[in-house]
């Protein structure tokens, strides 16, 4: 494995979505910094853009890394409302969520755009967390594997294998996001195995599960060898709920 490749350390990432004012974000970040985090687990939070600088300030000296929820693929230019990778690097962002299903659905983010953003993030030293997953109807029609294979191959087109191994993928069945309908550990694991197999380099990359992961189901999901952690929405919005998910990764961390 290339020296730049991170071993598959467990990773728990909190996606705060469009929640938290700057003041609220500071409070949550401070509460998270006060947790006793297991040293073998990487913990990441993705606040909204407006709170990134404040949260970066709160996280100084902690083991919690900062993520953005999206970015533009160009460094600068006439793209009203957009934020670029160099701007995020300046704030201290180390990860960026790319292709979340909400951005694909509500902001028209295409597979091509996801690929351009992945390449821009890597070129700027930011680790992409690429989200893929099927809708409820695709799930019912048995199209899950075809859908995630298509999305994954598109996301990593023309990306070097060593770079792919440094990336993170989040398998997030859309029907499980925010619904309380968590996928079974066996099914999530089978889909993740398929994702690993469809692009060279992903065997070494960290692949997370996302979709209603909470304290009461996290350890069963993360007990699966294919699942390296979680991308957490609702349960990342309070320190006790997020801590419970991180707790669910402890057994995995001691096994790695």
Residues 86 and 121 sit within 8 Å (Cβ to Cβ): no
| 95 three-class SS | strand
Question: Stretches 120-128, 187-195, 231-239, 246-254: which one binds ligand PGA (CB under 6 A)?
Answer: 231-239
Residue 37's nearest CA partner among 256, 255, 245 is 245
Site membership for ligand PGA, residue 133 (CB under 6 A):
no
Tokens of 211: 């979709």
The structure tokens listed for 22 are: 């700057």
How many residues contact ligand PGA, by CB under 6 A? 13
Binding mask 177-216 for ligand PGA (x = CB under 6 A): xx-------------------------------xxxx---
With CB under 6 A as the contact rule, the residue among 73, 109, 163, 172 that binds ligand PGA is: 172
234 binds ligand PGA (CB under 6 A): yes
Provide the annotated active-site residues.
100, 172
Nearer to ligand PGA, 125 or 178 (CB): 178
- Contact between 16 and 100 under an 8 Å Cβ cutoff? The reply is no
Q: Is 13 in contact with 246 (CB distance < 8 Å)?
A: no
Q: How far is the CB of 61 from ligand PGA (least distance, A)?
A: 27
Q: How far is the CB of 172 from ligand PGA (least distance, A)?
A: 6
Please give the helix or strand (H or E) that residue 129 lies within, else none.
strand 127-132
Residue 233 as a binder of ligand PGA (CB under 6 A): the answer is yes
Q: Kindly calculate the radius of gyration of the chain based on its CA atoms and give it in whole angstroms.
A: 17
Nearer to ligand PGA, 104 or 204 (CB): 104
d(Cα 228, Cα 233) in Å, to the nearest integer?
17
Which CB atom, from 177 or from 253, has the smaller least distance to ligand PGA? Answer: 177
Tokens describing residue 187: 């099914």
Which residues of the chain form contacts with ligand PGA (CB under 6 A)?
15, 172, 177-178, 210-213, 231-235
């Amino acid at each position: 494995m290339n020296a730049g490749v991170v071993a598959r350390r467990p990773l728990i990432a909190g996606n705060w979505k469009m929640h938290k004012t700057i003041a609220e974000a500071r409070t949550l970040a401070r509460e998270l910094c006060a947790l006793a985090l297991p040293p073998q687990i990487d913990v990441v939070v993705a606040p909204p853009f407006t709170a990134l600088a404040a949260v970066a300030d709160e996280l100084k000296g902690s083991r919690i890394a900062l993520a953005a929820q999206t970015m533009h693929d160009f460094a600068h230019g006439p793209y009203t409302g957009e934020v670029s990778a160099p701007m995020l690097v300046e704030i201290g962002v180390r990860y960026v969520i790319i292709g979340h299903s909400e951005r694909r659905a509500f902001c028209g983010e295409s597979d091509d755009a996801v690929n351009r953003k992945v390449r821009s993030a890597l070129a700027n030293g930011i680790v992409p967390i690429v989200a893929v997953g099927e809708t409820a109807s695709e799930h019912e029609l048995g199209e899950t594997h075809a859908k995630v294979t298509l999305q994954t191959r598109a996301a990593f087109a023309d990306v070097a294998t060593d770079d792919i191994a440094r990336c993170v993928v989040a398998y997030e069945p859309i029907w499980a996001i925010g619904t309380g309908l968590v996928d079974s550990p066996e099914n999530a694991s089978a889909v993740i195995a398929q994702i690993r197999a469809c692009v060279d380099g992903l065997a070494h990359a960290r692949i997370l599960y996302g979709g209603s992961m909470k304290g009461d189901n996290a350890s069963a999901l993360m007990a699966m060898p294919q699942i390296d952690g979680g991308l957490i929405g609702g349960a990342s919005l309070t320190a006790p709920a997020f801590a419970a998910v991180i707790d669910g990764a402890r057994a995995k961390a001691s096994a790695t």
